[in-house]
Structure 1
């Protein structure tokens, strides 16, 4: 089953790559559990799109008064939720004040899934 990891971290525009995440990526790419992942730009670079009454409205970020933003994401393949949670617990984004949200994908290959 696939899971989306949303890595929530403090919104600091100068955050850069670190050895811990590079090691995590290398290990989970090698074992095949990591399908895709990227760092995201700071909240000030985010845009929100909403269509209302046929009119498109684009709003500059940040959107909420929060101390953290979604700083990146990973898509992982794991046999079950317990395994996905174990992989998330190894993610450096879950350490030192950060959070990794684990979102299961909706099953689309099962009969009757909508």
Structure 2
């Protein structure tokens, strides 16, 4: 099953000490095939919101929702089940200094 793993800040939570090295985490999960894709994203100041209302395209600067948390990046991971996805996420450095959110992709029809 594929999961979108959002890498987010957690400014109100304390760090949990030294974290694993991100390059080692990436190399390990790229080699195993568990990490399909991943990248950092630009800060929320560079974000643009897009909505269509009454046929008009509305573009706004920054994120639509007001929140302290910021999305720093993402990974798409392949795991046998949620337990394996959680184990992969728990080894990510941001599990120690931020937060990770796992979202399963919808299964394809007939799969």
Q: TM-score, normalised by structure 2?
A: 0.85
C-alpha distance in 1, partners of 2:43/2:9?
10
Gapped runs of 5+ residues in structure 2?
12-19
- 1:37 corresponds in structure 2 to 38
Equivalent position SS for 2:107: coil
- 2:48 corresponds in structure 1 to 47
CA shift, 1:93, in A, is: 1.3
Deviations for 1:33-76, whole angstroms, at most 9, x for unmatched residues? 00000000000000010000000000000433322211000000
- 2:24 corresponds in structure 1 to 23
| Corresponding residue pairs, total | 103
C-alpha distance in 2, partners of 1:65/1:36?
28
Task: Give yes or no for contact 2:49–2:63 (8 Å, CA) kept in 1.
Answer: no
C-alpha distance in 1, partners of 2:104/2:28?
21
- 1:58 corresponds in structure 2 to 59
Equivalent position SS for 2:66: coil
- 1:107 corresponds in structure 2 to 107
Q: TM-score, normalised by structure 1?
A: 0.83
Gapped runs of 5+ residues in structure 1?
12-18
CA shift, 1:10, in A, is: 5.6
Q: Which runs of 4+ in 1 moved over 4 A?
A: none
Equivalent position SS for 1:101: strand
Task: Give yes or no for contact 2:10–2:99 (8 Å, CA) kept in 1.
Answer: no
- 1:92 corresponds in structure 2 to 93
